[in-house]
Amino acid sequence: MKILLYYSQRKKAEAKELARKYGFCLEGENPDIILCYGGDGTFLKAEADYPGIPKAIIKGSQICKQCSSLSNEEVIEKIKKKKYKIKKMTKIEARVEGKVLRAINDIIVHNHDPRHAIRYMLSVNGKQIGGTIIGDGIVVATPFGASGYYRSITDSVFNIGLGLAFNNSTEASDHLVLDDDSKILLKIIRGPATVYADNQKDSIVLKDGDEVEILKSSEQALLIYCEPYS
């Protein structure tokens, strides 16, 4: 079994030591499993670089909501012995004129210039939500990402479906929890705005009249859980 150790540059020295100790690869193609050494953000970056390959998070950060309560050594031993289960996780994507960004946590449409709000129209499954909305944009989150930016805006989380939050709208706008097969369409009336996916470097700039469609992706992320399985 080929195990690739994925890490941030800040963890390079520690990652090299782990690789030496356990015989992991630090680079290479077609790994069977990827160990994400860091925190939740490292997992998001690894999925962007290696979509669809099973991944486990081993703690290398003080903030890691998805890390196991087991020690790193226990997690590694269970993986080597194939004593784990895999959870399929929803991914979402943003589509703009043939360009696609995919995310595990959230898709964010945000005003490009923080000094100026954007104006946009929004519809869900072809049904318009309100009139022209003025604000900083929207956040569309998966259940995995519900505890992040979505929660900071709405002060709530959810376990099923897709969450839609309105960021600093001038009018009071309640967040929505939608069926996971919902299709969200946002049209920029006055921009510019930028579309982001998770913590990825790639983004898409939206000009006046541009539209972005946000929906569940056909891709899924595979997260390895080592507990409570023996």
Residue 93, pLDDT above cutoff 50: yes
pLDDT at 119: 98
For the chain, what percent of residues have pLDDT higher than 90? Answer: 73
Q: How far is CA 164 from each of CA 48, 148, 159, rounded to the nearest angstrom? A: 22, 13, 13
Calculate mean pLDDT across residues 67-86.
87
Architecture (CATH level 2) of domain 3-83: 3-Layer(aba) Sandwich (3.40)
Q: What is the mean pLDDT of the chain?
A: 92
- Name the pLDDT band for 226 (thresholds 50, 70, 90): confident
pLDDT at 132: 95
Calculate mean pLDDT across residues 60-78.
79
With 0-12 / 13-18 / 19 or more C-beta atoms within 10 angstroms meaning exposed / middle / buried, residue 60 is buried
pLDDT at 39: 84
Domain layout of the chain by residue ranges: 3-83, 91-218
- β-strands 193-197, 203-206 pairing: antiparallel
pTM of the shown model: 0.91
Token output for 109: 């449409």
pLDDT at 198: 97
The CATH fold assigned to 91-218 is Tumour Suppressor Smad4 (2.60.200)
pLDDT at 63: 67
- Name the pLDDT band for 46 (thresholds 50, 70, 90): very high
